[in-house]
Amino acid sequence: MGYGGARGIYYWSFNNQGIECPSAAATDFIRTATEEWFEEPIPFDRSAFARGRHLAGLFRGKRSLLLLDGLETLQKPLGHERPGHIEDEGLREFLATLALPATTPFLCVITTRVPVTDLDLWCGKTVRYLDLQPLPDRVGVELLRGLGVRGEDAELFAAVTEWKNHPLSLTWLATQLVRQYRGDIEKRSEITGNTTDYKIDRLFSSYDKCLPAEARAFLCLLAFFNGPAHWPEIFSLIEKPALPDLTEAFTDRPQSWWDELLHTLQECRLVTTHSPGTQAEETIDFYHPIARNYYRRVLFERADTWQEGSRRLFHFYRGGEEIPSIEREFEPLRRAVWHACSAGEQLAAFRDIIWGKFWQGWVGFQPHGIGLGRDDEQMMRLFFPNALGKDPHSGIMNTFPAQDLARLHHWAGVVAQAAGMPTEAILRNTQAAALFAEVGDYVGAGFASGYLAMHHLIAGSLREAIRSSEKCLRLVEEHLPHLPTVRILALGVSARVFHAAGRWDESGKAFDFMHRLLKQVGRAGYPGIEALNEAHYCIYLVDRHEFLGESLARDRIENGVEGIHYPGPGRSLARLTLGRFFLLAGDLPRAIPLIESSAEELVQSAVTDLAIRGLLGRARLDQVRGQTETAHKDTETALNLSEKRKHRLCEIECHLELVALNLAVGPRSAASVHWDIAARLIRQCGYQRAEKRREQLRRQIEIV
């Protein structure tokens, strides 16, 4: 049964996940726990938020013990305006869901140097903080003796005091004394020298000098990795020709020699291993991140070796030509990009992996947006490390040909928008559109201009969105009259922008023109984008019905929804809109199944504005059904998400929904507050689509 009757005991250390991509560490934990611990597939079309909640449900259904070590690597540090905040929304939702009261007993133990402020709501209820103090002197002495150190109590107590009662320092000190001096405590000065500067880095440096040359070289090999390494990965670094001053001693060694080396390093408490089955599945990692950091600094001092080793790992991870079909297959590619940038091969990484696989796996060819996730923000920072607005072509980017640089900015703009950074998204795609036009790639310029219009739209800059969409249409008409497929996409963007601006007739004309072209040429070749455009056309029709009082035949909207055969968010959004139409008609039996299923699909999606639409659609249904508590919860969640990701138009919709809720069930004073905020934002953004509903709600407030 295990500890306390636990049926499952699980351990994960975020310290072992490297120092470059903390968000990737959270993603890796959720993926590994779901797929390997619980043997459930992790749907690639789910948002990080939904994945975290799903994993928490698996733990809550089982009597289990979960140990999470080193969470501080994923938290905001002390001194930050939000100290202790977990930035990764998947991990944050996982822990928040675990903290809810449960019927099945389970325990999650977290070690961290910073309080987990995201769990303060449950502090004293289901969450308890225990401040760990340095080891008591007596316990420190017992630790040394338990590790084989010999000597008088006075000397042992002195050693504990010298190393400030720090468990890891005492562990490594004891290990060295036992290996070199048979555990004699009086020999400790031989290790550290006559010093009063008792710091763990100094202790580790002296430890390193006592290791065999082959052991130091192997630890340097491990420092190439940001986490546990498999033998095939390690052997890719040992291939001939040898890495200078590093791998010469590893050539043609038998397996027994490797086993003995690994055993020595384990005895020294420098590495740990995990062996689920064959040697290829065995993983080796550092005992503590201090060791990784130390040997990575050693590698940095050997620039040629660091670059060559990184180049080999880039080629090891990059794989073949095929585009991955599941999210898990993208993980080695992210590692390949990191190592390529370390090797100075940014251009190859961008061409082969980011543009050749991540971008092609996302833009329209996969139903749920595979290959575009929060971890891509970390990859973007490998190419654009500078603060926003500082020399967008700085550093290695100056070596990119203009065409590749345009594509890089375009990809970075889409990633920035997905990460909730619309200002940076606008900067990147402004650069992309100009560079594409400069090299005569008008297809690229058309796409970049279209995305730029959507970035402005999401950010609430309707005037700029209109300018960008009109520029996109002019560019297509002037340079690409022979490519109706690109014009179809440009018309879809323009129709959505005009709709948001309340220019109903212009929006309708753009949608009609788009449909005429589609009849002429068939599908445009980007089914995901086309499905979203069709869904927004359905929204346009229902908006005219609700806010302009126009009649809408049921078969017209049903035919529009049924015409979307491509699975994914576009189809879900269209079905949600059809459910809204039935809800307006008072046809609850038809509305409920449509809204419930499509809203859940959108909430689970990795696209923020679609997830918000799903939450609001479900909230409106719950309000009609009298389930006001859940309606409030969904709307507040949508508002928080809108504010965090800076989706200004979604923020307006959330405030208007809260006006309706507060008018229905109170507090009614709050309705006026949300109405005022919505009115101010509508004026600022020019979001005239919402003006009709705002006026309807104003009249209700005056009646009340």
Q: Using CA atoms of 562, 451, 597, 575 in order, give the dihedral in degrees to the nearest 10.
A: -30
- For the chain, first and last CA: distance in Å? 62
Tokens 């390529």: give the residue. 340
Rounded Cα distance between 180 and 414, Å, is 57
Domain count, the chain: 4
Q: Say what the pLDDT of residue 23 is.
A: 54
The verdict on residue 256 lying in a domain is yes
What distances in angstroms separate CA 185 from CA 52, 157, 179, 198, 480, one per listed residue? 48, 10, 12, 16, 81
Q: Mark whether 220 and 168 lie in a shared domain.
A: no
Q: Say what the pLDDT of residue 154 is.
A: 94
Task: Give the domain extent around 231.
Answer: 213-301
Rounded Cα distance between 472 and 489, Å, is 10
DSSP 37: I
The verdict on residue 365 lying in a domain is no
Q: Mark whether 193 and 218 lie in a shared domain.
A: no
Tally of residues, the chain = 704
Which of 169, 189, 209 delimits the end of a domain?
209
Q: Say what the pLDDT of residue 11 is.
A: 86
Residue 669: CB atoms within 10 Å: 8
Rounded Cα distance between 451 and 490, Å, is 10
Which of 167, 194, 209 delimits the end of a domain?
209
What distances in angstroms separate CA 546 from CA 503, 539, 543, 610, 689, one per listed residue? 16, 10, 5, 21, 11
Q: What is the CATH number of the domain that holds 260?
A: 1.10.10
Q: Mark whether 197 and 283 lie in a shared domain.
A: no
Q: Mark whether 21 and 101 lie in a shared domain.
A: yes
Class of residue 2 by CB neighbours under 10 A (exposed 0-12, middle 13-18, buried 19+): exposed
Below-50 pLDDT ranges, the chain: 1, 17-20, 364-371, 387-394
387: closest CA among 432, 430, 434, 423?
Answer: 423
Which of 256, 279, 301 delimits the end of a domain?
301
Q: Say what the pLDDT of residue 370 is.
A: 43
Q: Mark whether 183 and 242 lie in a shared domain.
A: no
The verdict on residue 160 lying in a domain is yes
SS3 284: strand
Q: Mark whether 31 and 115 lie in a shared domain.
A: yes
Rounded Cα distance between 462 and 302, Å, is 52
In 211-367, beta strands by DSSP E? 229-230, 271-274, 283-286
Q: Say what the pLDDT of residue 633 is.
A: 85
Q: Which two tokens stand for residue 281?
A: 């599945």
Q: Using DSSP bridges, classify how beta strands 107-110 and 229-230 pair: parallel, antiparallel or unpaired.
A: unpaired
Q: Mark whether 149 and 112 lie in a shared domain.
A: no
Please give the biggest Cα pair distance in the chain: 94
Tokens 């449960």: give the residue. 102
Rounded Cα distance between 595 and 575, Å, is 7
Q: Mark whether 82 and 145 lie in a shared domain.
A: no
Q: Mark whether 205 and 224 lie in a shared domain.
A: no
3-state SS track over 567-578? CCHHHHHHHHHH
pLDDT tens for each residue of 210-265:
888 999 999 999 999 988 898 999 999 998 899 988 998 898 888 899 989 999 99
What distances in angstroms separate CA 425 from CA 123, 238, 412, 430, 456, one per listed residue? 38, 41, 7, 8, 9
Q: Mark whether 186 and 157 lie in a shared domain.
A: yes
Q: Say what the pLDDT of residue 369 is.
A: 43
Q: Mark whether 205 and 232 lie in a shared domain.
A: no
Tokens 């760990």: give the residue. 132
The verdict on residue 664 lying in a domain is yes
Q: Mark whether 623 and 666 lie in a shared domain.
A: yes
3-state SS track over 349-415? HHHHHHHHHHHHHHCCCCCCCCCCCCHHHHHHHHHCCCCCCCCCCCHHHHHCCHHHHHHHHHHHHHH
